[in-house]
Amino acid sequence: MRKYLFNGAIIGSIFSGIGTIRSTTSGPRDWRLVLTWVAWAATLAVAVGTVVIENRQEELEGR
């Protein structure tokens, strides 16, 4: 669990999620808002996938 919480990609996606929440509460609700949420979800998915792949590689190398 610590690998997920302290990874730079995960931390970056959390901060971008905060920005997405702020733009949702203060900005107009149109098609761009949906794209913002989709982009954030894709960023989070890539970050989690990166951590999973790194973890598997470390296990295979025997660390």
Q: Per residue in 12-60, pLDDT tens? A: 999 999 999 999 999 888 999 999 999 999 999 999 999 999 889 988 8
* Residue pair 52/61 in contact by the 8 Å Cβ criterion: no
Q: Per residue in 10-19, pLDDT tens? A: 999 999 999 9
Asked whether residue 63 carries a pLDDT value surpassing 70, the answer given is no
* Residue pair 4/49 in contact by the 8 Å Cβ criterion: no
Does 41 or 9 have the greater pLDDT score? 41
Q: Is 13 exposed, middle or buried (0-12, 13-18, 19+ CB in 10 A)?
A: buried
Here the tokens at position 37 are 């949420």
